[in-house]
Amino acid sequence: MLNAKVFSSIHNITEAYRTQLNTINEEQFQLTPPAGGWSYSEVYSHIFDASILSLLSLEKCLDGIGKDHPTAFVVKVILYFGTFPPGVKYKVPKILEGRVKLIPKAEAVEMMQKFTQQLELDYKKMTRARRDIKTAHPKLGYLNAAQWLRFIEIHLNHHLKQLKRIEKSF
């Protein structure tokens, strides 16, 4: 039941990204905001690349490839409350840093489509997910398939807030 709620939420959040993308012209999509930080383009590049990579980790859990490793208490709290602790500025993990790039809007659309298609396929397999099979997240440690799904939801939501901050800075 919880997975169904998270799955639905991810779809709603992804739709919010699609709606936001339709309001931005190509030039502004590429611009660094006046307040600094990532452009819209870089946020879309990061969030959908990271989400697709997260689905790959989720798939490994579904395929039984992983470890029976404890999930850190602080991570359980993040997953329970559905948000990263407030006031903490997070940096993209070093392993993903070089993957963030400027992309055209068309590529952002393609990445969203690839993500949603893979999400649909993986969600259908979630009933076979074992809680004890986990794969490593670069910052959060070991997550099982359901936890990866929840992380994707939290991460998408986190960067949706970033898009709103970018919009306000223009």
pTM (two decimals): 0.94
Q: What is the pLDDT of residues 28-87, one digit of tens each?
A: 999 999 888 999 999 999 999 999 999 999 999 999 999 999 999 999 999 999 999 887
From CA 60, how far away is CA 67, in angstroms rounded? 10
pLDDT for position 86 = 82
Structure tokens at 4: 């169904």
- Count of CA atoms in the C-beta half-sphere (13 A) of 90: 14
Q: What is the CATH number of the domain that holds 132?
A: 1.20.120.450
Task: Tell me the average pLDDT of the chain.
Answer: 94
Torsion-angle region of residue 32: left (phi > 0), alpha (psi -120 to 50) or beta?
beta
Contact status, residue 41 vs residue 117, Cβ threshold 8 Å: no
Domain that holds residue 133: 2-169
pLDDT for position 39 = 96
Angle value at C-alpha 23, between 20 and 27, nearest 5 degrees: 110
Predicted confidence band of residue 1 (pLDDT cuts 50, 70, 90): low
- Give the chain's end-to-end CA distance (angstroms, integer): 40
Number of separate domains in the chain: 1
